[in-house]
Amino acid sequence: MMKYQLVAIGEAMAELRQDTKAGWSVGFAGDTFNTAVYSARALAPGAVAYVTRVGEDPLSEGFCQLAAEQGIVTDEIRADANRNIGLYSVKTDKDGERSFHYWRSASAARSMFAEAATTEIPAAKIVYYSAITLAILAPDARARLFARLEELKSDAGCLIAFDSNYRPKLWEDVATAQEITAQAWAMADIALPSIDDEMALFGDADEASVLARFAQKTWVAGALKRGPLGPVPLANPQLDVPAFEAAQRVVDTTAAGDSFNGAYLAAFLQEREELDCLKAGHDCAKMVVGHPGAIAPLDA
C-alpha cells in the first residue's frame, strides 16, 4: 500500500534574498522541495512527503516549520546533530534572471544515504528526485539511492520521476554527470527535463536533437520544458498542443521549472488528461515567476 501520492528527495536550503529597499530576507528553497510544495498545494493534505536531512540549528527548524505550513509531511525528514542546513544567497537582475552564491559543502543533506540503514524512502505512487539530488551525494550514497529506487519501482510499483537539473559546479566532472544522469534517465518513468540543461550536459545541437534522444524510450508521462515557449509532451509526442502564453510579468525566474514539475505531477496524480497536465504546469510556472523567491505566497 502506498503511504503517499508523491515523495520528493533532495536538499533544501536557507535562502538569503537581497531587496534593494528592505535589505536581506530569509526563506527556504531547493529544487525538489519547490516541486513538493507546488504538488502539495494541488493535492489533498498528507499526500506529499519530503525526504532530506537537516541540522538541529534554528534555520533547520524554520525550514521544517515552513514545509509543514506548505502542506508537506515532514515525518521523513531526519535531523543531523553534527551538520546544518545549507545556505545560499540570490540576486536578481532587471529581467528576473538570478545569480547565486552557496554555502552548502557540509550541509546535512549531503550525508543522506551514507550508510545502508539510512536509505529510508517510503513507497509512493511517484518518487521524484533530480540530478542535484545525485550531485550532492557521495558515489556510494548514489549507488544506495539507485538501488532503493529500483526496489521501489520493481517491488512496490512506484513510478520514478526525474529532472536533470544540471549544475556543473556540483559535479566531479562532466563525464560523471553524463554517466549518472543517463543512468537516472534509464530508470525513470516520468521525464521532466529542461531543454537548456539537456543541451548543456549532453551537447545536443538543438531542440530537435533533444526530442530525438528522448524519443528512443517510451515514457509513462513527461514534458520537455522550454521556458516561456511552454512544454513539449514526451509520452505522447503526437499530441496536438496549442501555443502556450508566456508570462506577462517576470520578477524572478527562480523555481520556474520546479513549479512546473510540481503542478504537472499533481495533475498526473489526479488522472487528468495530458494536455491538462501540461497546462497546469505551465500556468503554475507563469504564476511563480511573477513573484520574488522560489515559494510564491499561498494566496498567489
Nine-digit cell at 182? 543517463
Q: What is the dihedral of CA 136, 140, 142, 146, to 10 degrees?
A: -170
Active site residue 258: yes
Q: Side by side, which strands form the sheet with 159-163?
A: 77-79, 48-54, 4-9, 124-130, 159-163, 190-191, 221-224, 232-233
Residue 53 near residue 76 (C-beta atoms within 8 A): no
β 124-130/159-163 pair status: parallel
Catalytic residue selected from 155, 240, 258, 283: 258
SS3 for 259-299 is HHHHHHHHHHHCCCCHHHHHHHHHHHHHHHCCCCCCCCCCC
Name the residues annotated as catalytic: 258
